[in-house]
Amino acid sequence: MQAVEDLSLEVAAGQVYGFLGPNGAGKTTTIRMLLDLIRPDQGDVFLFGQHIRRERTVLRRVGSLVEGASFYDFLTGRRNLEVLALTSNLDLPAAQFDAVLDLVDMREASRRRVRGYSTGMKQRLGIAAAMLADPDLVILDEPANGLDPYGINEVRALARRLVDEFGKTVFLSSHQLGEVEQVCDRVAIIHHGRLLREGSVAELVSEKSRLRIEAEPVEQTLAVLARRGATVTEDGTALLIEAKRTEVPLIVEELVHHGIRVYAVSAQRQSLENYFLSVTKGQDERVG
């Protein structure tokens, strides 16, 4: 089985781009390939339109935090950043270290050894490390993993600030859909290594909405909706069906045409989580 297959994503500059998928979908594999940490068995990886192996310098435009922040815990936070700068052959002024440490509110703590840091502090230092070379693209792979709600909130706000204040593009991989929904401009959903959907959060969640219909007689309404092929569930006096927003007028028209009295039709906004579950589950059923 291929971990990732023919995946092409277009991430516009100046956005937080969410990269979603269930565990094992190929998110981290994709990111690792983008960063040349693993090599694809077949094919090539392009970033900013450049082959990452042939045009190695393209990776200098990328900062990354992959699967949790890892540091030399016997060094201070600041020293870790200095080592990273040396490894990257970057001759950075002290002000640059201060700036990225200030960004994540770690200037004071960076004087201490990483050994004593909490997970949240390490993640923040990881984001500082990703920003060290002033990259165009910041890849954050599950940056909220292992964090408490405050930490998650901080990381979410930080991802947004990188775009809004610093003009960066953030590629955020996560399975915390609430987080993604709140912070991302666009999202891609992958499953079994394939791109299932891609679009803005608003587009995706409105792609399939749940309609709540109050109409009488109920039996006749059920029959009309069943003829349309809709799966109907009853919710007290109302009927619930899944339908696209564009189908709503047609459904109402058809019900009225059959002499059904329509009292109310309302679209229940679907959460990204529901949408995600419906598309990935649908894919699983097709694969199964």
Among 2, 9, 15, 38, binds other proteins (CB under 8 A): 38
Distance CA 151, CA 118 (A): 10
Are β-strands 194-200 and 186-191 bridged in parallel, bridged antiparallel, or unpaired? Answer: antiparallel
Q: What six digits make up the tokens of 150?
A: 């405050």
**Smaller CB distance to other proteins: residue 52 or 251?**
52
CA distances from 232 to 48, 84, 204, 227, 271 (A): 46, 57, 22, 11, 19
Binding of residue 83 to other proteins (CB under 8 A): yes
Interaction residues for other proteins, span 160-199 (CB under 8 A): none
Span interacting with other proteins, options 6-14, 32-40, 181-189, 192-200, rule CB under 8 A: 32-40
In angstroms, give the least distance from the CB of 106 to other proteins. 16
State the number of CA atoms in the 13 A half-sphere of 106 facing the CB.
30
Span interacting with other proteins, options 10-18, 30-38, 221-229, 275-283, rule CB under 8 A: 30-38
**Smaller CB distance to other proteins: residue 36 or 254?**
36
Instruction: Please name the helix (run of DSSP H) or strand (run of DSSP E) that holds residue 130, with its range, or none.
Output: helix 119-131
The interface mask with other proteins, positions 105-134, x = CB under 8 A, is ------------------------x---x-
Q: What six digits make up the tokens of 56?
A: 């190695």
**Smaller CB distance to other proteins: residue 137 or 189?**
137
Cβ-based burial of 263 (10 A; exposed 0-12, middle 13-18, buried ≥19): exposed
Span interacting with other proteins, options 36-44, 176-184, 254-262, 279-287, rule CB under 8 A: 36-44
Is the alpha carbon torsion for 223, 225, 229, 230 positive or negative? negative
Positions that interact with other proteins (CB under 8 A): 32, 35-39, 56, 59-60, 62, 64, 66-68, 70-75, 79, 82-84, 86-89, 91, 129, 133
